[in-house]
Amino acid sequence: MSSRLLKPPKTVEKNMAQTFDLIIHNGTLMTPGGRVQTDIGVRNGKIAAIEDLSNHDAAEKIDAKGLHVMPGAIDTQVHFREPGGEHKEDLESGTRAAVMGGITGVFEMPNTNPLTTTRQAMADKITRAHGRAWCNHAFYMGGTAENAADMADLERSPGCCGVKVFMGSSTGNLLVEDDESLRAVLSHGVRRVAVHAEDEPRLIERKKLAEESGDVHSHPVWRDDETAIRATKRLINIVRETGRKAHLLHVTTADEMKLVSDHKDLISVEATPQHLTMSAPECYDRLGSFAQMNPPIRDEQHRLGLWWGLQQGVVDIIGSDHAPHSTEEKQQPYPNSPSGMPGVQTLLPVMLNHVSHGRLTLEHLVDLVATSPARLFGIIGKGRIAMGYDADFTLIDLEQQREITDDWIESKCGWTPFNGESTTGWPVGTIIAGRSVMRDGELLGVADGRPMKFFESENAD
């Protein structure tokens, strides 16, 4: 069957208005049916036509010749920690970094001040984002032993993308370390529960290894592979018992990929560009504590195991785990140095470089950063280039060669672990609801990102 798009029925064609708010000409569209070279017409923030529109008018026209147009990329794990501060990331700076990297939507984690564990905290976040967030946004509801019984109500809050649980201590004050509390959270509600899976008792037991060494090379020794594997096994057992959908964040071990591959009916999987690209000990030799994150970057065997999981379809989503800290904070002696690195702006350049090296196809990347996030989390109107869907697009130049540099980074931290890395493939345009917010590295317009809507939340109508 030809991939050429058919013209609309004459009855539809006759009644269609001849003008659009935006027409994207000559691009190669990444559609559900494959790559199609044609035009997109946008009206009122929605996709209104996918066909040859060379004879139609629009308030704005973009010539996308030589570019690929993919559905807007969504980063489903960021830590902006609003309200931030002079040197702390916030919704404005974090979403500005997102759109500069081709990202049209983000899910922010609940380990903020105050914690996002109530309806009021969720509403306050949405209010603070209004007029400040450059891209679309949603927020996780933090799951704890204290609010577990109310989770079926809390998870339906407008703007809520799902529930987040920390099984192991990380940055912030949320922790669900025991099986009873985890079971309580998973037993109330229906939304997908995103889980940071590290075994807290083992972390406590082994922390002395980090403290005694004072060397960041011991980070993956303290938070070893067994720490992650134990937590993931515990999660699988409780997911099987409760029947609750879970999303296993930032998987770092080859063992977990194999383990979870037998439980894909209930567990989706995230990998990060950092864990897919860097490995120990080289990253710690080169970056020191700037390579420190939780769970840690591990050795080459585990990195290759993550690629096995991605290429076998075990990995559902690529998320950045964007968690920036200032240079001064990261330079503190280990283990007092905080874990986390920026990533929302570099997610697409790093992964597009992997595409250029043949490690995955562009179609696969589109699924990982657009289609799967929309499908797994039930986002309304996102993740596909299709009639009636939101006009969120990421424009990609697969041939453009660039160097990732610290001075390109919009995050307040001002650095990236990929500084100096040469890449092939680059996001050159970010379009949200038919509005261009980034073109060729230039920020455009004003911050007008909107809360995302979900099928299982109260604003689904």
The distance from CA 88 to its chain's CA centroid, rounded to whole angstroms, is: 20
Residue with tokens 């990380």: 170
- Identify residue 240 by its one-letter amino acid code: R
- In this structure, are strands 34-43 and 46-51 parallel, antiparallel, or unpaired? antiparallel
**Distance (Å, whole) CA 431 – CA 452:** 15
CB 78 within 8 A of CB 138: no
The three-class DSSP label of residue 64 is coil
**Distance (Å, whole) CA 434 – CA 295:** 37
**Token duo for residue 245:** 């959908």
Give the single-character DSSP code of 368: I
**Distance (Å, whole) CA 89 – CA 321:** 13
Residue with tokens 């594997």: 229
Residue 224 bears catalytic tag: no
Residue of 21, 90, 321, 392 marked catalytic: 321
Query: Positive or negative CA dihedral for 194, 182, 232, 299?
Result: positive
Instruction: Give catalytic residue positions.
Output: 321
